[in-house]
Structures are given as C-alpha cells and as structure tokens.
Amino acid sequence: MTQHHAIALMGPTGTGKSALAIAVAQHTNTSIISCDSMQLYRGLDIGTAKASLEEQAAVPHYLLDCADIQDIWSAQRWANEAVSIIQQENKVGRTPIIVGGTGMYLRALLEGFADIPPIPEAIRTHFLSLQQQHDTPYLHQLLQACDKDLADRLHATDSQRIMRGLCVFESTQKPLSVWQAEQQQNHEAVNCPVFVLSMERAMLCQRLETRIDKMMQQGWLDEVAWLKAQHISELHPALRAVGYRQLLDYLDNKGTLDDAIRDAKTATRRYAKRQVTWFKNQTPNAHMGDASRINSND
C-alpha cells in the first residue's frame, strides 16, 4: 500500500496555528489543508477565524470554502478528500500541512472509521426532540444504557457525539464503540507526524476574549443573521457551533446582545479546554509546542 506524507499542526482554538502554518508553508513552498469542521462552509468566515483572502492567495489552502451551508460533512468524508489532496500534493513534491482543531477529523484520516450505514432522518429527529425536551445530559444517560464504553469517553454535554452514538445504536442495533473497534483497516496509509500547540490557560483565555470582540467589530452578528436566514436543518452542526449558537439565541430574542457575547466567550473558553483535553488524551505521541510566542490569533 502506497504511503502518503503530510504534517499535522493541531491544538485548541486561539493558539496561533493558522499564522504559524502560513509562515511555514511560505518558507517551505507547500500547501495547507484545513482541518476544521466549520471552515468547510462558504459564508462562515468571521466566526470560524477563516484565513483571509490575502492569506489564501499567499498559500494554497484546501478543504476551505468547499461546501454550501445546506451540506453536512462527516469526518470520514473530510478524510477521504484529504487523502486525495495529500496524494496530489505529494506527486508534485509537496508535503502539505494539516491545520486545525477538529481532532476527530484528523483521527479519521490517520486511523479510518467504520463503514456505518446512513442514519435515517427519522431517528435523528427523534433524538433531537428528546434533547429539546430533556437536554443533553438526559441523552448521555440513554447512551450509558446502550453504549457505556462510548458514554464513558464523552462529556455529558457533548451533544453532537452523544447524538451520533444514540443514532448509530438505534439504527444498527450495534454500539458505535463496537463499530469503531471493528473499523476497517484498509484506508489509505498516511505518514503524518502530529504537532500540538499549547498555551498557558490565562493567556489563551485573554486571547479568546480579545478575538471575539474583534469578530463582533468585523460584523460577526451579520454573518450569524445570514446563517439564520438559510433555514437549514436543526441537526446541522453550524447551528450548534460555539459562538454561533449564542448569537443565534440573541437573534431569537433570548437575552441581550451583551448576554450573547458573554455566553459566547464562556462557551469558547470551555471549548478550548475540551480541545486541550482531547489532544492530551487522544494524541499521546504528538510533539507538544508552546504557542505563547505566537502573536497572531488562530
């Protein structure tokens, strides 16, 4: 099996991954593959801290602005596209840099996912209704009953992955953790050393607060209003994305704008903390680096 080559630069939001990757890519004449589940979507620019048009012109970027907002991508779909891009770049002598904070996407690329049958929309709708009635911790209790191994790995408020586990079990009568244990090993092999940026928490929290203030000045609320006007499915991950969800609440007349901004900052800090924990536990062989000297926000 032909082995392909890439480098991954991962880490929590706000650590400066994008700025570092662009500098390295320019110096080594290579390209960047975005590993961010929200930067895939055209129209979600400010709130995702997407690379500017100038930065994209300076360095080739892939898997950025490649999907309409009505589309829903999975980790495996991203991984399949990433393998093709890596192969294409390797053929012309480039080793692309995979950059982002969506750890599950990187795992899908490096380890592969089981070939789970599509989930019927009725099942998704059923569990979404239960979530709206009882909240996510209730769904986590349901997951404990049918897939304890998976539930034990997830935080009780990790709505997207809890929902996925319940839907897979309901649809296939096999726990997602079992599917994952039996995952196919015939995926394209990728030789990809992983580098993870970290930062002292107080400094990272300050950077995140400053970045959100800047995003609001850049017109993030207008971007969220555009998202609301698309009338996409309530199951779409963009509607649950950190920051977007809080501003959508404001547009739905749930609290003031100051409340929404405050809640967005709190949610972003918590998200960054979860990312730190994920990379610590899921990428134990990664090379860790201190990002405190990187001045530009990621």
Q: Which residues pair with 10 in a beta bridge?
A: 100, 196
Q: How far apart are CA 283 and CA 79, in angstroms?
A: 17
pLDDT for 188: 64
pLDDT reported for residue 113 = 67
Which of 33, 99, 91 has its CA nearest to residue 66?
33
The span from the CA of 81 to the CA of 70, in Å, is: 19
CA gap 206, 18 in Å, rounded: 18
Token look-up 């490649």 returns 66
Q: How far apart are CA 105 and CA 100, in angstroms?
A: 9
Q: Enumerate residue ranges in the chain where pLDDT < 50.
A: 186, 295-297
pLDDT for 230-250, tens place per residue? 999 887 889 989 999 999 999
Which pLDDT score, from 0 to 100, does residue 196 have?
Answer: 96
d(CA 22, CA 59): 7
pLDDT recorded at residue 55:
95
Domain annotation for the chain: domains and CATH numbers: 4-114+186-199+276-290 (3.40.50.300), 121-181 (1.10.20.140), 201-274 (1.10.287.890)
Selection from 179, 180, 152, 176 nearest residue 163 by Cα: 176
pLDDT of residue 296: 46
Q: What's the whole-model pTM score?
A: 0.79
Decide if 11 contacts 17 (C-beta within 8 A).
yes
Q: Which amino acid makes up residue 73? A: W
Q: What is the largest CA-CA distance in the chain?
A: 56
